C-alpha cells in the first residue's frame, strides 16, 4: 500500500504542472492577439513597476537563462517596448525599463488578461499565494543545502 508521503512529491508536482499549463493556455489567446510570448509577458509584467531592473534580476524573475533573456530583450528593444540604460549607481550594469509605448502595450495586455482571468475568493487566493510561497521557499532552501 502506498502512503501519502510516498506519493506526495509526484502528486504535488503533477498538480503544479497542471495548474501552470492551464494558466498558460488561458493566457495564450490574449497574448497571441497582441503578438506577445509568455516569456515576454513575464518580463513586461516585472518592468511594469517602473523601477527598471538589472538583467540578472529579470532572468531570475522570468525563469530564463541569461542568453535567452538577452535575445528576448533585444527583440523588445527592436519593437520599442523596452530600452536599456546604464545604472547611474553602478555604471558597469544595465537597467531595463519599459518605454512609453511598452507601458501602453503592457496596460492593454494586462487589462485583457485580468478580464479573462478566473476569480478565486480573496481568502482562497491569499491562501494559495501563501502556500505556494512557502513551498518555493522550502524547495529553495533544500536545493541550496544539496
Domain containing residue 63: CATH number: 1.10.10.10
Model's pTM, two decimal places? Answer: 0.85
User: What cell numbers appear for 127 in the block?
Assistant: 491562501
User: What cell numbers appear for 20 in the block?
Assistant: 501552470
Residues 46, 43: Cα–Cα separation, whole Å: 5
| Residue 102 within any structural domain of the chain | yes
| Residue 134 within any structural domain of the chain | no
Asked if 52 and 97 count as a contact pair (C-beta separation under 8 A), the reply is yes
Dump pLDDT digits (tens) for 75-131: 999 999 999 999 999 999 999 999 999 999 999 999 999 999 999 898 999 999 999
State the total domains in the chain.
1
Residues 88, 116: Cα–Cα separation, whole Å: 39
| Residue 92 within any structural domain of the chain | yes
Measured CA distances, 92 to 10, 27, 55, 58 (Å): 44, 36, 12, 17
Residue 63's contacts (CB-CB under 8 Å, 6 or more residues apart) are 42
| Residue 129 within any structural domain of the chain | no
Q: What range defines the domain where residue 94 resides?
A: 25-120
| Residue 5 within any structural domain of the chain | no
| Residue 144 within any structural domain of the chain | no
| Residue 139 within any structural domain of the chain | no
Give the containing element (helix H, strand E) for 93. strand 90-98
In the chain, the percentage of residues whose pLDDT exceeds 70 is 94
Residues 85, 96: Cα–Cα separation, whole Å: 6
Asked if 83 and 77 count as a contact pair (C-beta separation under 8 A), the reply is yes
| Residue 84 within any structural domain of the chain | yes
Mean per-residue pLDDT of the chain: 92
Amino acid at each position: 500500500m502506498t502512503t501519502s508521503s510516498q506519493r506526495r512529491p509526484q502528486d504535488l508536482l503533477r498538480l503544479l504542472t497542471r495548474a501552470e499549463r492551464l494558466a498558460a493556455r488561458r493566457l495564450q489567446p490574449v497574448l497571441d492577439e497582441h503578438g506577445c510570448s509568455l516569456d515576454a509577458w513575464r518580463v513586461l509584467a516585472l518592468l511594469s513597476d517602473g523601477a527598471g531592473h538589472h538583467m540578472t534580476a529579470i532572468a531570475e524573475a522570468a525563469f530564463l537563462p541569461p542568453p535567452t533573456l538577452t535575445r528576448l530583450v533585444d527583440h523588445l528593444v527592436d519593437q520599442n517596448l523596452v530600452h536599456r540604460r546604464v545604472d547611474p549607481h553602478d555604471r558597469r550594469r544595465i537597467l531595463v525599463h519599459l518605454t512609453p509605448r511598452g507601458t501602453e502595450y503592457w496596460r492593454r495586455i494586462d487589462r485583457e488578461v485580468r478580464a479573462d482571468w478566473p476569480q478565486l475568493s480573496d481568502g482562497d487566493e491569499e491562501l494559495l499565494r501563501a502556500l505556494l510561497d512557502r513551498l518555493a521557499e522550502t524547495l529553495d532552501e533544500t536545493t541550496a543545502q544539496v
